[in-house]
Structure 1
Amino acid sequence: MKTLNALTLYLVCLFPSWSQAAITAGVSVSDLTNPYFVTMVRSLRDELQITFGDDVRLLVRSSAYDHPRQVRQLEEFVAEKVDVIFLVASDEHKIGPTVERIVTHGTPIFAIDVRAKGATATITTDNVQAGRIACKGLAESLNARGNVIIINGPQVSSVIERVTGCKQALVHYPKIVVISDQLNGTASIEGGLESMAYALQAYSGIDGVFAINDPTALGAEQAIVQANANALIMSVDGSPAGRDALLQRRKGWIGTATQFPDVMSREAVKIADKWLDEHKVDSTVVLIPTKLMNQDNAASFSAW
């Protein structure tokens, strides 16, 4: 209970609510224990204040990848008469009917990071590109041969697209064998640890790991260290923890395809501002390019 109270207090301080607001916005993200989503929400708040003034009211919720919970959150936003909703979908297809109903009734929903069927617009990392450049880097570090596992995650569009991009890259390396792509690391450190520990027992000779995000990779790293194994790790995120691992040249870590949650958030607010002013958007899908961070260039990247 102390941990919960501390987290609640932290979020209240980080994302305050104003009694009178020029605009009220709701945001539902996947996991507020993940620095990626904390950065995303903080950037949304900052850009909303720049655009609409300090008296913005921002309602922040975490779905914990729970679809019914997220549906309730969206319905709560409507009941609060928000002007705009920003959404990291727990499931792009299941959330579709709810999104379409809310948008049809006049409240725009802007999907960030993960696509959401029926959203007014989507702003996300070019996740296919991220998976592609990550696994190209992994293949090159393995000298184009070896056994690789993909630690998958929740089947949202961002994860699916990263794995698709990874496979697109690896198909050009016939001497690299993907021995598993079905392990679900739940996009968390704990899930990455559990999945990697299982893989090390189930498969022999794992040379490389593609993890769908940095928390998963950090968990996989723990399992590799505990088993005194050797495997190269490539990921997607560019998180502060991933950057630190590369700066410290920790064993196994070779890179992470960067995401820019602050850029996504700021772009989402700009698009929302245009919609609120003109009731139209220039593009329904905006892809944010990614770059590969490795041990040699990590110092040149800013932390979230």
Structure 2
Amino acid sequence: MKKFIGMALATSLMLGTSVSAKAEETLALVISTLNNPFFVTLKEGAEKKAAEKGYKLLVLDSQNDPAKELANVEDVLNKKISLMMINPTDSDAVRSAIKAANRKNVPVVTLDRGANGGKVASHIASDNVQGGEMAGKLIVDMLKGKGKVVELQGVPGTSAARDRGEGFNKAVAMASGIEVVASQAADFDRTKGLNVMENILQAQPEINAVFAHNDEMALGAIKAIEAAKRDILVVGFDGTDDAVSAVNEGTLLATVAQQAAKIGSMGVDVAEQILKGEKVADYTPVALKVIKK
């Protein structure tokens, strides 16, 4: 009996040592903004997975400011972190932050938005080109290949805005009867989506549909359209809770749904593989789907 207790105690101590050693591993998540439900969900997905795996996770909000982002990265690099996950504010501007991590030999994983420079161990995101194309095809089908459409763009310089726009324009270009009458940036922001859409509505007497690069802008656009008492189809992108509710209510035609929590969760999974010295894919796609009533 004493021998059994001794063995159990030894096993317990070994397990305790293993868990506490892993708990000392700290990951950082530098996120573009937490003033957006999509990125809040992404953060929560990463936090849940990190807790399950026994990692400490530092989360810093860049508030959509590349200068703040660089300061955040410099801050976490001065701490003892094993790996940095980053959701860039801008795919070009983030190069300096990634190069700073490279100099410290801290592996980098990008989430949702890619980086146009620096060494990145892996990128995890939805196929934004495909998603934009899905939105464009839906609009073309709903308008039966004829009509005037508006594109509300995300933050200029982000890979998400570039890729979603590329897919959307590819789809609508296939229909000779579709004309894009306005294409303006509203920075992935609901209030800016409202304001930009108000201006477009004043300038364009005929609009049949709107594609917004994210749900926040789509929901802002809907408010402007309702105030103008016009009947215009709106398609968003991300699949946030507010957007799904709007689809169910019939005010939003559809949203191309990303799995934000899964992107965050997979970020931690890939981080663990990297820390174990395992080979990881340069790019891991996360599936998309169209949610409509």
Which residue number corresponds to residue 13 of structure 2?
none
Structure 1: runs of 5+ lacking an equivalent: 1-19, 296-304
The answer to whether the 8 A contact 2:237-2:257 is kept is: yes
Q: Which has the larger radius of gyration?
A: 2
Give every structure 1 segment of 4 or more consecutive aligned residues whose post-TM-superposition deviation is greater than 2 Å: none
Superposed CA deviations along residues 195-240 of structure 1, whole A, max 9, x for unmatched, are 1000001112011100000000000000000010111001111111
CA–CA distance in structure 2, aligned partners of residues 36 and 22 of structure 1: 29
Contact 1:138 1:254 (8 Å CA) reproduced: no
SS of equivalent to 2:113: coil
Q: Supply the AA of the counterpart residue of 1:23.
A: E
Once the two structures are TM-superposed, the CA of residue 115 in structure 1 deviates from its matched residue by 0.2
Q: How far, CA to CA, are the matches of 1:172 and 1:75 in structure 2?
A: 46
**Partners of 2:109 and 2:271 within 8 A in 1:** yes
Mapping of 1:229-244 within 5 angstroms? Answer: 229-244=230-245
Determine the structure 2 residue equivalent to 1:159.
161
Match of 1:69, as an amino acid? K
Q: What is the number of equivalent residue pairs in this alignment? A: 270
Letter in 1 for 2:165: V
Matched with 1:175 is: 177
Counterpart position of 2:134: 133
Normalised TM-score (structure 1):
0.85
Look up the match of 1:36: 38
Structure 2 alignment gaps of length 5 or more:
1-21
Q: Which residue of 2 aligns with 1:214?
A: 215
**2:228 is matched by which residue type in structure 1?**
A
- Residue 267 of structure 1 corresponds to 266
Report what 2:285 is aligned to. Answer: 287
Counterpart-to-counterpart distance in 1, 2:91 and 2:121: 13
Q: 1:103·1:120 contact (CA, 8 Å) conserved in 2? A: no
With normalisation by structure 2, the TM-score equals 0.89
Question: What CA distance in whole angstroms lies between the structure 2 residues aligned with 1:262 and 1:22?
Answer: 24
Report SS of the residue matched to 2:59: strand
Shift of 1:245: 0.7
Change (3 A) 1:111 1:36: same
Tell me by how many angstroms 1:105 deviates.
2.4
1:261-280, Cα deviation, whole Å (9 max, x unpaired): 111112111111111011x5
RMSD of equivalent CA atoms: 1.5
Kindly provide the CA deviation profile for residues 136-173 of structure 1, in whole angstroms up to 9, marking residues without a partner as x. 00111111111001011202001110000001111111
What is the percent sequence identity of the aligned residues? 26
Q: Is the 8 A contact 2:69 2:97 kept in 1?
A: no
Cα distance in 2, alignment partners of residues 281 and 204 from structure 1: 55
Q: CA deviation at 1:21?
A: 4.0
